[in-house]
Amino acid sequence: MIQGSGSNVGKSLIVAGLCRFFTNEGLKVRPFKPQNMSNNAAVTADGGEIGRAQALQAMACNCEPHTDMNPILLKPESEYGSQVIVQGKRFATLHAKDYFVQKPLLLGKALESFSRLKKNTDLIIIEGAGSPAETNLRKGDIANMGFAEAIGAPVIIIGDIDRGGVIAQLVGTHVVISPKDRKRIVGFIINKFRGDPNLFLNGIKDIELKTKWVSLGILPWFQSAWKLPAEDIMDIKEKKGGHIKVVVPKLNRISNFDDLDPLLLEQNISVEIISPGKPLPGDANLIILPGSKSTISDLQLIRSEGWDIDIFAHVRRGGHILGICGGYQMLGNTIRDPQKIEGDITETPGLGLLNVSTTMLPEKKLQNVSGKHISSGTEISGYEMHIGKTIGPDCKNPLLMIDGKGSGAVGTNNRISGCYLHGMFASDTFRSKFLHNLNSISVLSDYQGSVNNTLDELAKYLHQNMDTRQFLNLTRSL
């Protein structure tokens, strides 16, 4: 089990790289994360959803993602509550105190999934969440040491030297956790090192002396990490320099923002993520309204920031707008939530840029789909993950054809459109045609191939900078 000295220390990336390395070595490897918190999710082959990082790790193992790889997924809907996904399906929306009451049940579900996953598998690499040093969360823990203890897994802990204080991170973890948990940690890795690693050898010795843990290596900063899908909103990426500017407002509950990843690899495209407090740039060629875990709440954010005024001005200047999932719902006339699925607001006006309206429904649609982009005739694939049904006159001019039916909507001026399809820009031919309509040329011919090549690069990088043989030996150490 890979745990971290804190959040965002690189656990997901390292697990993905190790999955690819040992898969390339001929082992049957599977990723596992008992509990994840992310609004960036993926649809699985068995019709559920898991964290995007586990889907990437499955890709690293050359296998299809499955709900057993991430049995508990928390999708924050507010500052106080999250939608709880159990083995791929919505279980409930719970506040933190109510979630803790459910932990014994959820641990059982996580163990059930792990038991199925380990059948006919040579190696499972488990990713923790946050840090085991959060001792206030140790009782009933299912994400870190509690799960490791339940299955008897040895633990390797990752320290992030880029944040500073990595010796204190690791030695401090050793000090505050219980003696029983301390013995479960068998090694550590220093991640995100910049400069000459030899300059930190005395630091390694100091950590080893104070913890008795084995060092597995110092990982330099992995320069190609930005080419891989990110899990956490903290990792959302942007890129400037292209002659076509794509602007994306950074919503509080932005979800499935890996929709943007293929555009980041296009050298002619700038992707700018605009944080609250800043206006949407007036020279944008395209505004993308992204997915949202709380559509009505994020629509309120757009209005409170004055971004709606920027969007209307963009339309008057002849700019293009694409709404994806929650962003599609926002473009319509009205959003209704009669069952209060998202909160206490039962109806709110949309931006009124598409002549459609949405009603939130309790059942979530989860499916991988393929079809055709109508105006260009190109094949397209991706996934749908949403609640709500959108209807209206503009749906008679659909953006896509999926399973023989029209999907999405295009406005009367053909510059404003929306749909529920995530991942559309990963379809190379569609992306090329879409960019052509923005007077740009696609230079990326194989997005999925690029991700696969980066995973191979990551596997090689890990093997060069850490002791992968020792890692394998330590999996049998308890």
Q: CATH number of the domain at 401, please.
A: 3.40.50.880
**Judgement on whether residues 283 and 205 belong to the same structural domain of the protein:** no
DSSP 393: G
What are the tens digits of pLDDT across the range 290-311? Answer: 999 999 999 999 999 999 999 9
Instruction: Determine the pLDDT at residue 237.
Output: 80
Residue 155, strand partner residues = 185
Q: How many domains does the chain have?
A: 2
**Judgement on whether residues 211 and 284 belong to the same structural domain of the protein:** no
Q: 104-126 burial, b if ≥16 CB within 10 A, otherwise e? A: eebbebbbebbeebeeeeebbbb
What are the tens digits of pLDDT across the range 14-62? Answer: 999 999 999 999 999 999 999 999 888 999 989 999 999 999 999 999 9
* Mean pLDDT over the full length of the chain: 94
Examine the residue annotation and report whether 61 is marked as an active-site residue of this protein. no
Any domain includes 235: no
Any domain includes 29: yes
Q: For residue 416, what are the CA distances in angstroms to 103, 180, 311, 399, 438? A: 45, 59, 11, 10, 13
**Judgement on whether residues 208 and 266 belong to the same structural domain of the protein:** no
Residue 42, strand partner residues = 50
Any domain includes 27: yes
Any domain includes 35: yes
Q: Is the pLDDT of residue 80 over 90?
A: no
**Judgement on whether residues 298 and 366 belong to the same structural domain of the protein:** yes
**Judgement on whether residues 278 and 365 belong to the same structural domain of the protein:** yes
**Judgement on whether residues 182 and 321 belong to the same structural domain of the protein:** no
Which is the catalytic residue, given 314, 373, 386, 422?
422
For range 168-174, the mean pLDDT: 97
Instruction: Determine the pLDDT at residue 448.
Output: 96
DSSP string, 340-387: -SSSS--EEE---SSS-EEE--SSPEEEEEEEEETTTTEEEEEEEEE-
Q: CATH number of the domain at 158, please.
A: 3.40.50.300
Any domain includes 102: yes
Q: 233: pLDDT confidence band, cut at 50, 70 and 90?
A: low
Q: Which residue, chain included where needed, has tokens 């597995």?
A: 216
In 90-200, where does DSSP find H-type helix? 96-117, 145-151, 166-176, 179-184
What are the tens digits of pLDDT across the range 89-101? Answer: 989 888 888 888 8
**Judgement on whether residues 141 and 81 belong to the same structural domain of the protein:** yes
For 105, how many CA atoms within 13 A lie in the half-sphere containing its CB? 9
Examine the residue annotation and report whether 320 is marked as an active-site residue of this protein. no
- Report the helix count and the strand count for the chain, using DSSP H and E: 14, 28
Q: Give the strands of the sheet with 357-359, arranged side by side.
A: 347-349, 334-336, 357-359, 389-391
**Judgement on whether residues 397 and 423 belong to the same structural domain of the protein:** yes
**Judgement on whether residues 403 and 260 belong to the same structural domain of the protein:** yes
**Judgement on whether residues 190 and 312 belong to the same structural domain of the protein:** no
Q: Cα(385)–Cα(372) distance, rounded to whole angstroms? A: 18
Q: Cα(8)–Cα(163) distance, rounded to whole angstroms? A: 10
- What's the domain range around 433? 244-439
The pTM of the whole model exceeds 0.75: yes
Task: Write the CB contacts of 412 (distance below 8 Å, at least 6 apart in sequence).
Answer: 394, 397
Any domain includes 446: no
Which is the catalytic residue, given 325, 373, 395, 419?
325
